[in-house]
Amino acid sequence: MTPLAEVLRRRIAETGPMSVADYMAECLLHPTHGYYTTASVFGRAGDFTTAPEISQMFGELLGLALAQCWMDQGCPEQACLVEIGPGRGTLMADALRATAQVPGFADATTTHLVEASPRLRAVQEETLAGRAVTWHDRVEELPDGPLFLVANEFLDALPIRQFRRSDDGWQERLVGLRDGALAFVHADPRHEPDLAHREAETRPGDIVEVCPALSPVVSRLAARIAAQGGLAIFLDYGDWRSIGDTLQALRSHAPDDPLAAPGQADLTAHVDFEAIARTAAAEGAAVTEMTPQGVFLERLGITERARALLARLPDEESRRNHIAAHRRLTHPQEMGSLFKAIAFHRHSTPVPPGFDS
């Protein structure tokens, strides 16, 4: 049993079952035992096999897309280049290297990272050594001005609540105890006004998920962008209003039972892109279409970039790896379809590159 499992077992025995969201939050960010707060993520350096870790092309293309938007919006001075949930800092390092060639961009922007985990901040400091970067705990702390913002696999780390449809309402799925071990249990059915829009399309037994932390972050960013300009691009795995239990644990690259090793596995859930779009539109931002990652990266020119890099690779093995990385990011059977991109911007500004206009 992991140390965090013991902590949670004791707490549940005293105060009763906890929501999946509270369970996820403890597993990821518990001050001493959380997955993102402990050293375990770094011991196995390869734990993050996210898109920016697969190839430098991902961060380069996203950086250049943000710089293109900056130009499309009239090259504003005192703009912020921002990443939320930067992991190891690789995306930002690649974005900064690529955008150094965009005239005026580096002088006009300051770089900001929003990161909740002190341990990951330390890793980001190493990756970005020599760069002028400011860290923030929350998006509320970002300075005024247009935001040119990217977040990759950030929303999937935000805790979700799960509800099971029953004949008499919605039963929240909770983490409780069975024979002394962590187990999923269900609360009594209740009417949930926030799930009214899911009633027509679900049947008893279906599970739906909501991410309570998503709207505060998205609405704050959308309100700012609608008022002050810039844009935000979110990339993640998920879909438009998905149905079913998508809580997933990944431990040493292998899927695991989400209750098996709290604090020692990465826990994520599919992102509901409709929730991003609705929340951003409600704040007066223009929202793009949800676009599959493969299509998005193709439109940004990943294949041309891949060819240029390929020509410079010295040996067969590195060329093979490079081609595999390109395929992994874009192919529909790899990350190309499961992962999606969406962006929001000010109504008076052009649709960002990579999205259908």
The nearest distance, CB 136 to ligand SAH, in angstroms, is 9
Judge contact between 320 and 32, C-beta under 8 A: no
Interacting span for ligand SAH (CB under 6 A) from 149-157, 162-170, 202-210, 305-313:
149-157
Tokens of 316: 């067969």
Would you say 291 and 236 are in contact if contact means Cβ atoms under 8 Å apart?
no
How many residues belong to the site for ligand SAH (CB under 6 A)?
Answer: 18
Interface with ligand SAH includes 154 (CB under 6 A)?
A: yes
**Counting contacts by CB under 6 A, is residue 38 touching ligand SAH?**
no
Among 68-76, 110-118, 275-283, 300-308, which window interacts with ligand SAH (CB under 6 A)? 110-118
Q: Which of residues 78-107 bind ligand SAH (CB under 6 A)?
A: 85-87, 91
CB atoms within 10 A of CB 205: 9
Is residue 263 involved in binding ligand SAH (CB under 6 A)? no
Answer for which of 116, 185, 187, 207 binds ligand SAH (CB under 6 A) is 116
Q: Which residue from 4, 18, 20, 48 is in contact with ligand SAH, where contact means CB under 6 A?
A: 48
Min separation Cβ 99 and ligand SAH, Å = 18
Residue among 128 and 286 whose Cβ is closer to ligand SAH: 128
Given 26, 47, 115, 245, the residue binding ligand SAH (CB under 6 A): 115
Identify the H or E element spanning 249: strand 248-251
Q: Which of 73, 109, 117, 162 binds ligand SAH (CB under 6 A)?
A: 117
Q: Enter the tokens of residue 107.
A: 């002088």
Tokens, residue 128: 């970005």
**Binding residue for ligand SAH (CB under 6 A) from 23, 36, 237, 355?**
36
DSSP string, 308-320: HHHHH--SHHHHH
Coil, helix or strand for 86? coil
- Annotate 97-162 with three-state secondary structure: HHHCCCCCHHHHEEEEEECCCHHHHHHHHHHCCCCCEEEECCHHHCCCCCEEEEEECCHHHCCCEE
* Longest distance between any two alpha carbons in the chain, whole Å: 65
Q: What is the binding site for ligand SAH (CB under 6 A)? A: 36, 48, 50, 52-53, 85-87, 91, 114-117, 120, 152-154, 157
